[in-house]
């Protein structure tokens, strides 16, 4: 059964993102005083009175009729048409629409035009307009603002719900009205077993273009202007019976280049997207090669212990000879020597070259992430490693591994019982990892090795 979808629409700077954060109970949408801050659709889960539902935040609709008119979206003037398309697609998916207006500013011509747009998109179901629209008069923080809300009756959308998203007043009544309009009730939320894929990289590497190619529709706004995507966006698709959740993110700039405010939160969203993904697609620009910022992002993915695929985009722009791809790959291996296990794929989002290979590769890497070695398999590798190279400390006392076991997957984690964990130098841990990967590659996936002192009462086993 379909989970109900609540979509927030309205002109710029009426407080849709503040309402979104209030309804989902988290600070997910970026909030700023600059009109036009929200560009892409942002989706999150909410719940009220036993109902689970999705809340969709959209960019501010800017219904300009004349070229001479100044845009309302100061922060996104270059993306008015794209934002409108995103909002209209969200409206098509809605079960309930919340038309948000500003009680402090009062009724505007833009509000009238958006109301007309919604009416044109409604159809009659059992004699009632569908999807239903709730009129939300936000910023009703004073008696004057609440009186101003009476003007919104002129929109023909029924009684306005006066709320203050900042303070939370009135939102309970609004949610009561919304759930009463849901077409059905979801008694049990199905477990999300999808493969979470974060598409990350520095600005203007082509992340949104890759997302759109994978999805097959204009899901995210694509622009040659660096920094177009500001929110992390989830899109679910299915390929060969496997469900993927694709997370498009804002480009991550180096720390000193991050502009305070909106861009700062955008980078934070990208970092959070990495934290909750299974596999990260690190997109780099083939023309610029691996930059210091790409290395920084790769390091963050590694620290988060996430699986990773290096996607070299714009490969169609590179002049090629017989060994160009091999030489480029070798150069990448040198620059990202702390990720020797990362698979590299060369694509062109513009032409679609090898884009169809991405999701199968994600599936392979995710399977590696879920791989579980038996204790006998692991200990055979550890015994061979110790026979090949026995580590000794500065005191002359060697590290002795009694036995090991894999204690978890996602990521693969190995617990080794030893005589003294302090004797385990990081170089020897790296040696052990390489020996494990020589037989079980764990392609694209970091592995964790933890040393633990064996209790004296335990008997030697395995190694």
Same domain? 220 vs 290 = yes
Three-state DSSP state, 8 = strand
Query: Which of residues 360 and 183 earns the better pLDDT score?
Result: 360
Q: Are residues 137 and 70 in the same domain?
A: yes
Strand partners, 59: none
Question: Residues 41-52: what's their mean pLDDT?
Answer: 80
CB atoms within 10 A of CB 81: 11
> Sign of dihedral through CA atoms 117, 120, 123, 127?
positive
250 shares a domain with 106: no
Distance (Å, rounded) from C-alpha 69 to C-alpha 14? 19
pLDDT score recorded for residue 68: 41
Instruction: With beta carbons less than 8 A apart as the criterion, state whether 53 and 98 touch.
Output: no
Tokens of 440: 């079980």
Q: Which band of pLDDT confidence, cut at 50, 70 and 90, is reported for residue 202?
A: confident
**461 within a domain of the structure (yes/no):** no
Q: Is 413 helix (H, G, I), strand (E, B) or coil?
A: strand
CATH number of domain containing 71: 3.40.50.300
Contacts of 321 (CB under 8 A, 6+ apart): none
Q: Higher model confidence: residue 266 or residue 214?
A: 214
d(CA 341, CA 323): 21
* Residue 190 within a domain: no
- Is the same domain home to 22 and 154? yes
Query: Quick check: is 460 in a domain?
Result: no
- Among candidates 319, 271, 62, 18, which has minimal Cα distance to 169? 18
H/E stretch holding 101: strand 96-102
Question: Is the pLDDT higher at 309 or at 459?
Answer: 309
- The span from the CA of 324 to the CA of 83, in Å, is 40
Tokens of 45: 């889960």
Tens-digit pLDDT profile for residues 288-308: 999 988 898 899 899 999 999
What is the per-residue pLDDT across 386-445, written as a single tens digit (0 to 9) for each?
888 876 655 667 888 999 999 999 999 999 998 888 888 888 899 999 999 999 999 999
Q: Let me know whether 422 and 289 are in one domain.
A: no
End-to-end CA, the chain: 52
Residue 334 and residue 398 in one domain: no
Residues 444 and 322 reside in one and the same domain: no
Contact (Cβ atoms closer than 8 angstroms) between residue 417 and residue 401: yes
The predicted structure's pLDDT at residue 232: 56
Which one of 349, 369, 389 terminates a domain?
Answer: 369
Query: For strand 242-248 and strand 279-285, is the pairing parallel, antiparallel, or unpaired?
Result: unpaired
Count, residues in the chain? 463
Residue after which a domain boundary falls, among 334, 369, 404: 369
The two structure tokens encoding residue 271? 């970092």
392 domain-assigned = yes
* Alpha carbon distances (Å) from 460 to 40, 402, 446, 454, 456: 58, 6, 29, 9, 10
For 5-34, how does the pLDDT look when each residue is reduced to its tens digit (9 = 90+)?
A: 899 999 888 999 899 989 988 655 444 444
Q: What is the tens place of the pLDDT at every residue in 64-99? A: 544 444 444 444 444 456 656 666 776 777 889 999
| Complete DSSP assignment for 81-135 | HHHHHHHHHHHHH-SEEEEEEETTT---HHHHHHHHHHHHH-EEETTEEES-EEE
Residues 422 and 449 in one domain: yes
Q: What is the dihedral of CA 239, 277, 451, 382, to 10 degrees?
A: 20
User: 38: pLDDT confidence band, cut at 50, 70 and 90?
Assistant: very low
Q: Can you tell me the distance from the alpha carbon of 57 to that of 91, in angstroms, rounded to the nearest whole number? A: 11
Residue 458 is assigned to a structural domain of this protein: no
pLDDT in the model for residue 183: 78
Tell whether the model's pLDDT for residue 333 goes beyond 60.
yes
Give CA–CA dist 79/81, Å, rounded.
Answer: 6
The answer to whether residues 112 and 24 belong to one domain is: yes
The pLDDT score that the predictor gives to residue 30 is 44
Decide if 65 is inside a domain. Answer: yes
Q: How confident is the model at residue 315 (pLDDT cuts 50, 70, 90)?
A: very high
Angle at which helices 207-215 and 358-369 cross, to 10°: 100
- Name the residue among 13, 39, 10 with its Cα closest to residue 113: 10
Q: What residues does 235 pair with on adjacent strands?
A: 246
Q: Which of 124 and 235 is assigned the larger pLDDT?
A: 235
Over residues 346-364, the mean pLDDT reads 95
**Structure confidence at residue 380 as a pLDDT band (50, 70, 90):** very high
The percent of residues in the chain predicted with pLDDT above 90, rounded, is 42
More confident residue, 89 or 331: 331
SS3 238: strand
Give the total number of structural domains in the chain: 3
CA distances in angstroms from 235 to 212, 220, 447, listed in the order given: 10, 10, 28
> How many alpha carbons lie under 13 Å from residue 300 in its C-beta half-sphere?
26
- 323 and 412 part of one domain: no
Neighbours of 318 (CB within 10 A): 15
Same domain, 257 and 399: no
Residue 186: pLDDT band by 50, 70, 90 thresholds?
Answer: very low
Do 231 and 88 lie in one domain? The reply is: no
185 pLDDT band, cuts 50/70/90, is: very low
Containing domain of residue 225, as a range? 195-369
Q: Residue 203 pLDDT > 90, yes or no?
A: no
Secondary structure letter of residue 115 according to DSSP: H
State the pLDDT confidence band at 382, using cuts at 50, 70 and 90: very high
Round the average pLDDT of the chain to a whole number and report it. 81
CA-closest candidate to residue 371, choices 429, 430, 411, 415 = 411
- Is 187 domain-assigned? no
User: Residue 410 sits in a domain of what CATH number?
Assistant: 3.30.300.20
Question: Residue 436 domain-assigned?
Answer: yes
Mean pLDDT of 43-65: 78
**CA separation for the pair 59, 167 (Å, rounded):** 22
Which has the closest alpha carbon to 180: 113, 114, 128?
A: 128
% of the chain at pLDDT higher than 70: 76
442 close to 412: Cβ distance less than 8 angstroms: yes
Which of 151, 180, 209 delimits the end of a domain?
Answer: 180
């Amino acid at each position: 059964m379909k989970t109900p979808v609540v979509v927030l629409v309205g002109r710029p700077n009426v407080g849709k993102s503040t309402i979104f954060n209030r309804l989902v109970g988290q600070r997910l949408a970026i909030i700023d005083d600059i009109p036009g801050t929200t560009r892409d659709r942002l989706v999150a889960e909410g719940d009220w009175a036993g109902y689970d539902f999705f809340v969709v935040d959209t960019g501010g609709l800017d219904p300009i009729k004349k070229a001479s008119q100044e845009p309302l979206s100061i922060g996104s003037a270059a993306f008015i048409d794209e934002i409108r398309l995103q909002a209209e697609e969200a409206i098509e998916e809605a079960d309930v629409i919340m038309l948000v207006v500003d009680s402090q500013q009062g009724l505007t011509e833009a509000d009238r035009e958006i109301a007309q747009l919604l009416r044109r998109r409604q159809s009659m179901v059992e004699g009632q307009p569908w999807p239903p629209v709730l009129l939300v008069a936000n910023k009703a923080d004073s008696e004057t603002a609440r009186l101003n809300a009476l003007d919104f009756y002129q929109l023909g959308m029924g009684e306005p719900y006066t709320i203050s998203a900042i303070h939370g007043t009135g939102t309970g009544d609004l949610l009561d009205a919304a759930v009463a309009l849901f077409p059905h009730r979801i008694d049990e939320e199905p477990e999300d077993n999808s493969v979470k894929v974060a598409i990350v990289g520095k600005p203007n590497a082509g992340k949104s273009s890759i997302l759109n190619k994978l999805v097959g529709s204009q899901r995210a706004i694509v622009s040659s202007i660096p920094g177009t995507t500001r929110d992390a966006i989830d899109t679910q698709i299915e390929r060969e019976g496997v469900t993927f959740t694709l997370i498009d993110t804002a480009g991550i700039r180096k720390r000193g280049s991050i502009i305070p405010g909106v861009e700062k939160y955008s980078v934070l969203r990208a970092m959070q997207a990495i934290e909750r993904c299974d596999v990260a697609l690190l997109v780099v620009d083939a023309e610029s090669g691996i930059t210091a910022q790409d290395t920084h992002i790769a390091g963050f993915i590694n620290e988060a212990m996430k699986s990773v695929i290096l996607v070299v985009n714009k490969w169609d722009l590179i002049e090629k000879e017989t060994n160009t791809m091999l030489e480029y790959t070798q150069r990448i291996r040198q620059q990202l020597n702390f990720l020797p296990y990362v698979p590299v794929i060369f694509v062109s989002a513009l032409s679609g070259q090898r884009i169809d290979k991405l999701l199968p590769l994600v599936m392979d890497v995710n399977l590696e992430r879920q791989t579980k070695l038996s204790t006998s398999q692991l200990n055979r590798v550890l015994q061979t490693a110790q026979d090949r190279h026995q580590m000794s400390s500065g005191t002359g006392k060697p590290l002795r591994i009694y036995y090991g076991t894999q204690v978890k997957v996602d990521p693969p984690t190995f617990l080794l019982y030893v005589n003294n964990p302090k004797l385990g130098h990081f170089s020897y841990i790296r040696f052990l990892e390489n020996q494990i990967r020589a037989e079980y590659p764990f392609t694209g996936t970091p592995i964790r090795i933890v040393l633990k002192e064996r209790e004296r009462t335990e008997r030697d086993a395995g190694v």
